[in-house]
Amino acid sequence: MDFYKMQGIGNDFVFIEDFNNEIQEECELAKKVCDRHFGIGADGLVIVRKSDLANAKMVIINADGSRASMCGNAIRCFGKYVYEHKIVKDLKFSVETGDGVKEIEIILEKDKVKYVRVYMGKPSYAGADIPLVNMENLIGKEITVDGKTYKMTTVLMGVPHTIIFQENEEYDVIADGSKLEKLPMFKEGSNINFVKIIDKTHIRVDTWERGAGATLACGTGCSASVVVAKKFGLVDNIEEIFVKAPGGELVIEVLGDDVHMKGPAEVVFQGKITI
């Protein structure tokens, strides 16, 4: 099977094409190819398919075999992939995801893809959307787990993200994130983002992703973190906020209720894998 390995500021994915829907047991395939010792190694598997709703369809499966409805870094890589492989021809096109149809814009520099800009949709704090168990919302609420208190806000930004601002206490992404991901209040689990405000236009985000663990970047998590930081007045109410993740930087634009993400995507290598 032919594959491409791609990364978006350190969040890495294996890309394969399946235009005739021939792949069986795709969740098991994801676990195999994403294994960093016995496979290619990645945070997730991305399958490129035809769509009846958009110009192309993105299916993403986490490294542990669980399905994800949306991933910001993956969809930037997806945009670059389908453009450079001439699956789409225009600089603006649509992609079907598990979170609906997303609008993509390719930004060129000297005829090369420099950035991919993605319309991420509108955030929701509604407990039914996230979904939360018997909770109308989770906004600025203090939750104590194993004697440690966390002030948490959860928002749906394609997938559920819980935001914790690092103010007077430092958090460990692995130790704290793995503990909070599957709290009983989260019906389907939650990604956990630890956010540090650098200044009024810059923040840092470290993310524990459900199904993948601590990653070098999370596009939906960076988007959600900006949305919540704006809600609490922790950053300026301007369009562009710069977000630093361990793997690099993204630009998040909030235009009213609409969220856009802009950043790079790179091909790491290509090859064949026996399955």
Instruction: State the catalytic residue, choosing from 34, 71, 77, 222.
Output: 71
Active-site residue flag, 222: no
Q: Which fold has domain 141-256?
A: Diaminopimelate Epimerase; Chain A, domain 1 (3.10.310)
**Which amino acid is residue 102, in one-letter code?**
K
Q: Which residues are annotated binding-site positions?
A: 11, 62, 72-73, 191, 209-210, 219-220
230 in helix, strand or coil? helix
CA–CA gap between residue 140 and residue 161 (Å, rounded)? 13
Token look-up 């649509």 returns 94
Measured distance CA(72)–CA(119) in Å, rounded: 10
Summarize the annotated binding site for substrate as residue ranges: 11, 62, 72-73, 191, 209-210, 219-220
How distant is the alpha carbon of residue 3 from its chain centre?
21
Q: Is 27 a residue of the active site?
A: no
pTM of the full predicted structure? 0.92
**Fold matches, 2-120+262-272 and 141-256:** yes
Q: Which two tokens stand for residue 189?
A: 């689990």
For the chain, how big is the Rg over CA atoms in Å? Answer: 18
Per-residue model confidence as pLDDT tens for the chain (275 residues): 999 999 999 999 999 999 999 999 999 999 999 999 999 999 999 999 999 999 999 999 999 999 999 999 999 999 999 999 999 999 999 999 999 999 999 999 999 999 999 999 999 999 999 999 999 999 999 999 999 999 999 999 999 999 999 987 889 999 999 999 999 999 999 999 999 999 999 999 999 999 899 999 999 999 999 999 999 999 999 889 999 999 999 999 999 999 999 999 999 999 999 87
What homologous superfamily is domain 2-120+262-272 in, according to CATH?
Diaminopimelate Epimerase; Chain A, domain 1 (3.10.310.10)
- Buried b / exposed e along 50-85 (16+ C-beta atoms within 10 A): eeeebbbbbbbbbbebbebebbbbbbbbbbbbbbee
Domain ranges of the chain: 2-120+262-272, 141-256
